[in-house]
Amino acid sequence: MKKTVLICGAGGFIGGHLAASLIKEKKFNIICADIKPFKHWFQFFDKAINFSLDLKELKNCLKVTDNVDYIYNMACNMGGMGFIENNKAECMLSVLINTNLLRASLQNKISKYFFSSSACVYNITKQSKNFVQGLKEEDAYPAQPEDGYGWEKLFSERMCRHFEEDYGLSTRVARYHNVYGSFGTFDGGREKAPAALCRKIIRAKLEKKNSIDIWGDGEQTRSFLYIDDCITGTKKVFNSNYSDVFNIGSEQQVTINQMIEIIEEIADYNVKKKYQLNKPKGVRGRSSDNSFTNKQIGWAPVFSLKEGLIKTYNWIYEEIISGRDIKKFSNK
């Protein structure tokens, strides 16, 4: 008998790619759930059982977890830095999703539960300079995460830990570092830097404009993880024998300006940068230290930033020139 896997947040970016990967394996029965109407899911699969409902409600969590073996909780209310900094309460309400999925997991006897956390849990005092040392898992404590979204993720990590300690529910946790790629948001206010910059340069080239707006001074640093590497790492964490928290990120740290240069090369089009110093910028520098992840479960990224950006740029370009982006984002 095939095991049944529930993917929460399957209509979103990472959840959609995870669903695609697990369906391709043909090893599991797949159930997909997301709060968005089906027409707004980034990827939709007829081979899965699909639900559009609000997982902040316990009754809905009980419904979708019935007769399920494994849960991947990828569901949360989030976006790029602009959304996170301006919607702290909305981001924190996602704690209800994790809370009620964990409660439903006990009632419906779930075998294993995965929670998708974020590098936003890391202590902000360790991210105040450019090109900071890669963050290790223990650097989340003493706790001083990013306000709102970061606190919700850190609290939810602790919930998973204590549900395993107190109730014996097998839990797995991964901290994602700036995941990007195709079949995700690149316009509308929730997009992250790689997608936003690809879109801006594509539109500048198509409209023959010579400049784009940049949030901050462009010298803030990050590491960016391509989606295929994220999915491989996610499944390795889930299938491991460890309930530790694992970094799933890239160690290739770049400034925003350096990433723009890579995208300009891909586009074969150069732009002037108009720096907007009053916009949300987040921490000054952040990167992942993958030494623990590599040692324990043997995972490391395969795609370089340029390789991932080429794939992302080409997908966004096709969405824009086809007009699919206008319909997609005007209806949200």
* Active site residues per annotation: 149
Return the exposure string of 186-222: e unless at least 16 CB atoms fall within 10 Å of the residue's CB, then b: bbeebbbbbbbbbbbbbebbeeeeeebebbbeeebbb
Which phi and psi angles does 181 have, rounded to 5°?
150, -165
DSSP labels, 290-323: -HHHHHHH-----S-HHHHHHHHHHHHHHHHHHT
Residue 252, token pair as written in the block: 């290739």
Q: Rounded CA gap, 249 and 251, in Å? A: 7
Q: Rounded CA gap, 183 and 314, in Å? A: 12
Q: Rounded CA gap, 123 and 58, in Å? A: 31
Give the alpha-carbon dihedral of 66, 71, 77, 78, to 10 degrees.
-170
- 1 burial level (CB within 10 Å; 0-12, 13-18, 19+): exposed
Strand ranges inside the chain, DSSP E: 3-8, 28-34, 49-52, 70-73, 112-118, 170-176, 179-180, 211-215, 221-223, 225-226, 245-248, 253-255, 272-276
Q: What angle do CA 116, 119, 124 make, to 5 degrees?
A: 145
